Amino acid sequence: MKVIDKLAWIELQDGKILSTRSKGRIKYYIPGGKREAGESDFDTLSREIWEELNVNLVESSTQFIGVFQAQADSHPDGVQVKMTCYSGSYTGTVMASCEIDEVVWLNYKDIESVSPVDKIIFTWLKERNLLD
């Protein structure tokens, strides 16, 4: 079984989660991305969030949330994505970068518009009353 190692930033406000839609995609994804060789969790996450949303994460505020795994969206059966999730504050103004088509705030009713691993995360957040 192949596993894709990804990091994700969980940003919640008013019972909603920050999500993005990449150019050419239909589904929304929690911001983040794949680790490059030698990168720490924070290095990966801060690089990906800068590339996608043009904001800087504050390392001292970063808190581990959990690890979630599911079938990878748009990949053959058996390819899994392992998503290591963190929250944390940031500086700057969130805005879509060149690879992101749309930035949105979603709640639990939007669960059908996200990837399989994001569905698991949405449910986990809902069970803890963190997502409306």
pLDDT number for residue 122: 98
Task: Write down the pTM of the prediction.
Answer: 0.94
**C-alpha–C-alpha distance, residues 69 and 5, integer Å:** 10
Sheet holding 32-34, edge to edge: 32-34, 3-9, 80-87, 63-71
Could you tell me the two tokens for 128? 């803890």
pLDDT surpasses 90 at 1: no
Confidence of residue 74 (pLDDT cuts 50, 70, 90): confident
Which residues in 33-49 are b (16+ Cβ under 10 Å) and which e? bebeeeeeeeebbbbbb
Region 10-14 average pLDDT: 98
Question: Taking the domain 3-127, which CATH number applies?
Answer: 3.90.79.10
**C-alpha–C-alpha distance, residues 107 and 109, integer Å:** 6
3-class SS of residue 128: coil
Region 102-121 average pLDDT: 97
**C-alpha–C-alpha distance, residues 87 and 128, integer Å:** 15
Confidence of residue 27 (pLDDT cuts 50, 70, 90): very high
pLDDT surpasses 90 at 11: yes
Region 108-121 average pLDDT: 97
Region 45-72 average pLDDT: 97
pLDDT number for residue 126: 98
Which residues in 54-75 are b (16+ Cβ under 10 Å) and which e? ebebeeeebeebeebebebbee
Confidence of residue 87 (pLDDT cuts 50, 70, 90): very high
pLDDT number for residue 98: 83
Hey, CA dihedral for 29, 121, 72, 26, is it positive or negative? negative
